[in-house]
Structure 1
Amino acid sequence: MPSRTTRPITLAGPDAAAFANAQLSSDVLALATGRWQWSGWLDPKGRVRALLQVARVADDRFVIVPRGGDGERLANDLKRFVFRSKVTITLHDARFIADGDACDDMHAIEGNDASLVLGEGDASIHIGMRDDGDAWIARHIEKGFAWLPDEALDALLPPALSMERLNAVSFNKGCFPGQEIAARLHFLGGHKRHLRTVRPDVALTHGQSLRIDGRDVGITLMHNESVERPISLVVLEDATAQSETLEIDGVRLHVLSTFAA
């Protein structure tokens, strides 16, 4: 099976850090050179347009790695907000996502071939032209590192993707799109859907709606069939996921873990 691909976006220039910090949900100004962080781009209603990994590869240059979605659309939408900022936005060709060797957690290494390694401590992901298949998917499902199918874009709020757990949302850095809704959920709570790993009896598909008696109760984000006992990463409403085994649309799901918001 070929590797999954993404189209990285580079922000470069004297205002690159300030521009990224104003648009993205994480504290980009606190990101040191040679490091990466989780982030997101939200719409004004707080819904996640894009889940991102952001690497600061130089003081004035950032590489944004979209985890799902249309990189070209994302780059074009970001360009609409440049105004007078001294920042250039460059969209790159599709790059493969592949497994990498162990690398210090949150370290980012840019190669001479424009590849990018994002460290996870016990492993890493390699973003470049190396097509090594999707062995990393099972690990990211177990860690709750989501990849968004098209059906999940502009549909989920940060708690459903465990973005605070990943430090992908900061409420101390100033304004960003969707901040008011995200902050309300953070301080008042009340969100009813959360990220979970499940073991289904039959294969699920990315973007598959999970329904009970015709009512939408969640969505499948990722599914891994390459292991002996397949697992999936899903978003499920809390009321539905009270028991360890669920019957959803004739499919039995065994809940393995639930991730905090």
Structure 2
Amino acid sequence: MTQTLQGIAPISHLGVIRVQGDDAASFLHGQLTNDFALLDLQHARLAAFCSAKGRMQASMIGFKRAPDDILLVCSLDLLAQTLKRLSMFVLRAKAKLTDATQDFQLLGLMGSAVPDAAQAPWAVQTMGDAHLVHLYPAAGQPRALWVAPAGTAAPQGPALSAQQWLWTEVASGIATVSLSAYELFVPQMLNYESVGGVNFKKGCYPGQEVVARSQFRGTLKRRAFIVHAASEIQAGAEVFAASDAEQATGTIVQAAPAPDGGWDAIVSMQISSAQEALTAGSASGEPLTLLPLPYALLEDI
């Protein structure tokens, strides 16, 4: 039985890209996997920024502070290169992109620390100068991302550690793409289409044809799964199935120590390996136990 985590955690592994200007939403609409053209002030978007081959170069949660002011929260170790590459596509659009990590503070809220916990994932509440983005739950507990200008008084509640928050990210089943996962996956290999991260009805963006083909032609052979190990496992490590000791079946995307001991991780791997014995690092490595996903997968179209 997983112990219940309640409280507020510091977040230092994520950064903020700020996009300002009259064309901020339309510009992002043409670059990311989700619909930013119809984004309102009450919702956020999970999205991927892909290469021309449809491989994820970053993932982000985006929301509007104002009609011409959008924040993108992404992995800090990919922020600089993501900002640089996104800026290359601005051209004549009225959109200015900046690294605003130092201008905002991020906190993770879990369990009883989440106000109005019945809100659906990706709903946004405005709380003075702060914005609260409701996330997918972990271990049945509500989660939210609190984003506010630097210096804003933080909400009050029990303290959670950064490591505990990282575990809630793993337990939610929604991976954040970091440097170790750069250009390894199309969005569906991390289940992004099943958690609101891909809009198949919107127009073109880099890699759109590959992402659409993976969905509509039934060519997707990898998915994201949650696993548990008795000992430490790390992002970037390969995963092996019992049927093939030579060829890895997947990769650990994100890992964190579990509250009750051991480590939990999100693994992107061959769907066909889900019924096999799994190990991390090598065929004789740390045994992995498959855990249930906390959300349903969207059926292939």
* 2:275 equivalent in structure 1: 242
Tell me which amino acid in the other structure corresponds to 1:225: P
The reply to whether residue 202 of structure 1 matches residue 231 of structure 2 is yes
How has the CA–CA distance of structure 1 residues 247 and 107 changed in structure 2, closer, same or farther, with 3 Å as cutoff?
closer
The DSSP-based 3-state class of the residue aligned with 1:189 is coil
Quick check: 1:21–1:29 contact (8 Å CA) kept in 2?
yes
Q: Distance in 1 between matches of 2:235 and 2:12?
A: 13
The reply to whether residue 126 of structure 1 matches residue 158 of structure 2 is no
Q: Distance in 2 between matches of 1:199 and 1:18?
A: 41
Report how far residue 156 of structure 1 moved: 0.6
The DSSP-based 3-state class of the residue aligned with 2:248 is strand
Report how far residue 108 of structure 1 moved: 2.8
Quick check: 2:132–2:147 contact (8 Å CA) kept in 1?
yes
Quick check: 1:197–1:255 contact (8 Å CA) kept in 2?
yes
Range moving further from structure 2, 78-87 or 88-97: 88-97
Q: Distance in 1 between matches of 2:279 and 2:237?
A: 15
The DSSP-based 3-state class of the residue aligned with 1:123 is strand
The reply to whether residue 59 of structure 1 matches residue 79 of structure 2 is no
The reply to whether residue 190 of structure 1 matches residue 219 of structure 2 is yes
Quick check: 2:33–2:199 contact (8 Å CA) kept in 1?
yes
Q: TM-score, normalised by structure 2?
A: 0.77
* 2:82 equivalent in structure 1: 74
Equivalent positions of 1:31-180 (< 5 A) are: 31-67=39-75, 69-93=77-101, 97-100=106-109, 101-102=113-114, 103=116, 104-105=119-120, 106-109=122-125, 116-120=131-135, 122-127=142-147, 133-134=161-162, 135-180=164-209
How has the CA–CA distance of structure 1 residues 42 and 172 changed in structure 2, closer, same or farther, with 3 Å as cutoff?
same
Q: Distance in 1 between matches of 2:202 and 2:14?
A: 28
The reply to whether residue 217 of structure 1 matches residue 225 of structure 2 is no
Q: Distance in 2 between matches of 1:56 and 1:50?
A: 19
Q: Distance in 2 between matches of 1:173 and 1:126?
A: 28
Q: Distance in 2 between matches of 1:165 and 1:190?
A: 16
Report how far residue 17 of structure 1 moved: 0.9
Tell me which amino acid in the other structure corresponds to 1:42: C
The reply to whether residue 8 of structure 1 matches residue 53 of structure 2 is no
The reply to whether residue 24 of structure 1 matches residue 7 of structure 2 is no
Corresponding residue to 1:253 among 277, 283, 288: 288
How has the CA–CA distance of structure 1 residues 29 and 65 changed in structure 2, closer, same or farther, with 3 Å as cutoff?
same
* 2:6 equivalent in structure 1: none
Q: Distance in 1 between matches of 2:236 and 2:211?
A: 23
Tell me which amino acid in the other structure corresponds to 1:8: V
Report how far residue 199 of structure 1 moved: 1.1
Report how far residue 111 of structure 1 moved: 6.4
Quick check: 2:11–2:108 contact (8 Å CA) kept in 1?
no
Q: TM-score, normalised by structure 1?
A: 0.88
Q: How many residue pairs end up in the alignment?
A: 259
CA root-mean-square deviation:
2.5
Quick check: 2:55–2:186 contact (8 Å CA) kept in 1?
yes
The DSSP-based 3-state class of the residue aligned with 1:242 is coil
5+ residue gaps, structure 1: none
* 2:139 equivalent in structure 1: none
Among all aligned residue pairs of Structure 1 and Structure 2, give the percentage whose two residues are the same amino acid.
22
The DSSP-based 3-state class of the residue aligned with 1:205 is coil
5+ residue gaps, structure 2: 1-8, 137-141
How has the CA–CA distance of structure 1 residues 123 and 110 changed in structure 2, closer, same or farther, with 3 Å as cutoff?
same
Range moving further from structure 2, 164-173 or 88-97: 88-97
Q: Distance in 2 between matches of 1:67 and 1:152?
A: 11
